[in-house]
Amino acid sequence: MLKSKFRKLLIPALAIGAILMANPAASETIKIGAVAPKTGPLAGGSTVTHWPSIQLWVNQVNAQGGLKLKSGPAKIELIEYDDRTNPGETIKAVQRLATQDKVDFIIAPYGTGFNLATAPIFAKYGYPQITTTAITDKIPELTKRYPNIFFTLGDTTAFTKSVAEILSKMRDDGTIGNRVAMVNVADAFGIELANAARPIFKSAGFEIVYDKSYPLGTQDLSPVVKGAKASNPDAFVAWSYPPDTFGLTALAKIENLNVKAFYTAVATAFPAYQAKFQSAAEGVLGAGGVNPDTPEMMAFIKAHNEVTGKAPDYWASPVVYASLQVLQQAIEGVGNKDRAAVSAFLKENSFDTVIGPIKFNNQNNEAFWTVGQWQNGKFYGVSSTGRPGAKPVKAKSGW
Amino acid sequence: MDIVVIGLLLGGTYALIAIGLQLQYGVARIMNLANGELLVAGSFGAFWFFSSAQLSPLLSLFIVTPLAFVFNWLIYQYLIRPLVRRAKNRGQLEVDSILATFGLSFIFVGLMTAIFGGEYFSYSYLEQPFNLLNQSYGLNRIAAFLVSVVFCVALYIWINRTQTGLTLRAVAVAPESAGLVGINVPNTLALAFALGGAVTAAGGASLSMFLTFDASVGVIFTMKALIIVIMGGVRAINGVIISAFILGFVETAVATLIDPGLTLAAAYLLFIFILLFKPQGLFGGHAS
């Protein structure tokens, strides 16, 4: 009796043991670390833009047997940390990944400030840092100081310049006049963009008729939208974060702020924006954009939906994914886990990605999308610095 | 005129955020730092009913509120009651409950992230203009304001005019003496805590009509509620309601007349002034 029970247990136990022992021998693994918010104020953005692209990439690479190294395929073992949107935690987590988990590569964290905060740690331990959700005008200084940092999403001035160019074009076509109402979230991101935009708008001949900021997490933006409306603008530009992007749009709709050019920054490219505002989203301008009609993008969107169960955003989601494609091609190009060699490879080669070819010039990708617009339910890039396929911009006709 | 209406609407929002905490802190004496997470849970409830069953948030209030009541009752009985029992004095209970509910807030954030995911949530309900004196206001804001008025008036009448309300007030003022005159203090405390949680969740459900929220946003509401409750005087619900409206007016006036960027500064300035000149709160009476 007892013996037969023992025998019943023994066979599965042996089988499991055999699998456990056989697995490491059969294939090598490559450890990759990731740290970004899963909770805290920026979690709402990172769970749309950052984590799903990582999940998709790891899933796809492992489904194909892993990264192709010279010693054979290596499956990815992903180690994830939640930094709770606290830069101190991000720094600790990167350090931990480098020293305790001893990962082979680390995916750059989420957000401009978090990437800058961790850049010294990445540099100290010699990890390449391909940033994705980082926009700054300090790229030349940073790349000089940190030899392994790379930028993909663009710089502040380019983003504001593109908005000014789009507005200038609409003015030259006679669609809008030159009165611009501009608001920004009182946070590093919003202040930097507003400060960059002021002289650019003025030199483009625009009159800034309303220029106010509001604190992060404001519960009622009605005074802001009412004030902007009272200034009788031709265009409305908001350097906004996700919750206020939604709030400002909802109020503009309620207040019937009828401008021909309506721009909100982060989260305009989120699928949730279209889901909430539906036909009212038509014609809204926002930061980012892609060319969603290329075969690569269509495949990405399809795979993203299948693997993560949700749609990617139309701006940084594909950029995060592209940065991982770049990392993959560099690792496979070198053929081993040598981080210094991978960094050197990144600087010298061109990479085919979902957003088109990426070639770093002084560690900076200079071809990126800057302004997008909701047109027929998709967020199309209408302005870029050297990405083909921009759609002509349309005037917004009511809500 | 615009300022008055927008201020009223914002004040209503703030009242919804704060009166739940007043019941929990003022009466049950539990400084509930997970209050904001409960509010967000209410928002998720309304969102879930709206997106899965097309149920109006105003109707799902009738489901969310009783559920929150039961849930908070259970939290009180199994998590808070042991703290109350072992606390030697009020100070110790305060410290213990702050630590316990602080931990609880992380558990709630984790649970909501696990269930719903970490992204932003928002839906469109009654998102249309409502014209009042030639100005348009969001209909969803007006609906939330009415919910707030209903809750404030009902709670006010209930607390000031009924027998149960009287026991609640007695426990708030003097828990030891209340026991001596035959009031079941533990039950009354549990009732106040559960009721506070229910009102908070109802507030969350109403706010979700016009606010974009995510699993981690609760702490913002906890902070706001704390300011309003302390400003109004911890013991008095009418003080909390009035201070919510004062804050709404001040923020709107500053945003409209001076600069929207100064609303937070104005709110904290007001808070500091009240703490300086009337540390027991606007309607706190004299500290015993």
pLDDT digits (tens, 9 = 90+) for A24-66: 445 789 999 999 999 988 898 899 999 999 999 999 999 999 9
Instruction: Supply the pLDDT for residue A8.
Output: 55
Report CA-CA distances (Å) from A201 to A68, A162, A165, A167, B122.
49, 10, 9, 9, 32
Question: What does the pLDDT read at residue A307?
Answer: 95
Mean pLDDT for the stretch of residues A244-259: 92
CA–CA dist A243, A266 (Å, integer): 9
Q: Give the nearest chain A residue to B212 (CA atoms).
A: A243
- What's the Cα-to-Cα distance from B272 to each of B77, B181, B282, rounded to whole Å? 36, 39, 12
User: Is B256 within 8 Å of A227 when comparing Cβ atoms?
Assistant: yes
**Chain B residues touching residue A184 (CB < 8 angstroms):** none
Identify the weakest region by mean pLDDT among A3-12, A140-149, A322-331: A3-12
Compute the nearest-CA separation of A387 from chain B (Å). 29
Q: Kindly identify which residue of chain A lies nearest to residue B264, measuring between CA atoms.
A: A215
Domain boundaries of chain B, sorted by first residue = 17-216
pLDDT tier, A7 (very low <50, low <70, confident <90, very high otherwise): low
How far, in Å, are A142, A259, A371, A390, B82 from residue A288 at the CA level?
Answer: 23, 21, 5, 12, 53
Q: Which residues pair with A264 in a beta bridge?
A: A238, A286
Distance CA A56, CA A120 (A): 28
Q: Using CA atoms, how far apart are residues B61 and A210, in angstroms rounded to an integer?
A: 39
Beta strands in A109-255 (DSSP E): 129-131, 149-151, 179-185, 207-214, 235-239
**Could you tell me if residue A255 is left (phi over 0), alpha (psi between -120 and 50 degrees) or otherwise beta?**
alpha
pLDDT number for residue B206: 93
Structure-token pair, residue A291: 């060319």
- Specify the residue for token string 């009605």: A222
ipTM score assigned to the predicted complex = 0.83
Which stretch of A11-20, A29-38, A308-317, B114-123 has the lowest confidence by average pLDDT?
A11-20
Collapsed DSSP state (helix, strand, coil) of residue A83: coil
In whole angstroms, give the CA distance from residue B126 to residue A367. 42
| pLDDT, position A132 | 95
The residue ranges of chain B whose pLDDT is under 70 are 284-288
Mutation target for B interface from A182, A183, A211, A219: give the one with most B CBs within 10 A.
A219
Closest C-alpha to B19, from B184, B245, B255: B245
Predicted pLDDT at A399? 87
Residue of A nearest to B260 (CA): A214
pLDDT of amino acid B46: 94
Closest CA to B138 of B128, B146, B147: B128
Q: Can you read off the two tokens belonging to residue A226?
A: 């009412």
**pLDDT, average across residues A317-340:** 96
- Tell me the average pLDDT across A252-267: 93
Main-chain phi, psi angles of B190, to 5 degrees: -65, -40
Cα four-point dihedral sign A100, A101, A102, A107 = negative
Which pLDDT score, from 0 to 100, does residue B176 have?
82
The predicted pLDDT at position A217 comes to 78
Please tell me the predicted confidence (pLDDT) of residue A1. 46
Residue B16 and residue B203 in contact, taking contact as beta carbons nearer than 8 Å? yes
Structure tokens at B88: 């030697």
Closest chain B C-alpha to A55 CA, distance in angstroms: 14
A368-373: average pLDDT: 94
Average pLDDT over chain A, rounded to whole?
Answer: 91
What predicted TM-score, i.e. pTM, was given to this entire model? Answer: 0.86
pLDDT score, position B182:
86
Alpha-carbon gap, residue A110 to A134, rounded angstroms:
8
**Longest Cα–Cα distance in chain B:** 59
- Candidate from B13, B128, B261 with C-beta closest to A212: B261
A13 pLDDT band, cuts 50/70/90, is low
Distance to chain A for B285, nearest Cα, Å: 30
Mean pLDDT of the region A262-287: 93
Torsion of CA B215, B217, B221, B224, to 10 degrees: 170
- Of B8, B30, B15, B24, give the one whose Cα is nearest residue B225: B15
Query: Cβ distance A152 to A368 under 8 Å?
Result: yes
* Helix axis angle, B57-75 to B35-53, nearest 10°: 140
Confidence of residue A4 (pLDDT cuts 50, 70, 90): low
Q: Do B110 and A214 touch (CB under 8 A)?
A: no
Contact list, B137 vs chain A (CB under 8 Å):
222, 254
Grouping H, G, I as helix, E, B as strand and the rest as coil, residue A279 is helix
**What's the pLDDT band for A72 if we cut at 50, 70, 90?**
very high
**What local confidence, expressed as pLDDT, does residue A130 receive?**
96
Contact between B63 and B45 under an 8 Å Cβ cutoff? The reply is: yes
Q: Is the pLDDT confidence value at A6 over 60?
A: no
Q: Contact at 8 Å (CB) between B232 and B243?
A: yes
Q: Which domains does chain A have, with CATH numbers?
A: 27-155+293-369 (3.40.50.2300), 156-286+370-384 (3.40.50.2300)
Q: How far apart are CA B197 and CA B215, in angstroms?
A: 17
Kindly report the length of chain A.
399
pLDDT at B172: 85
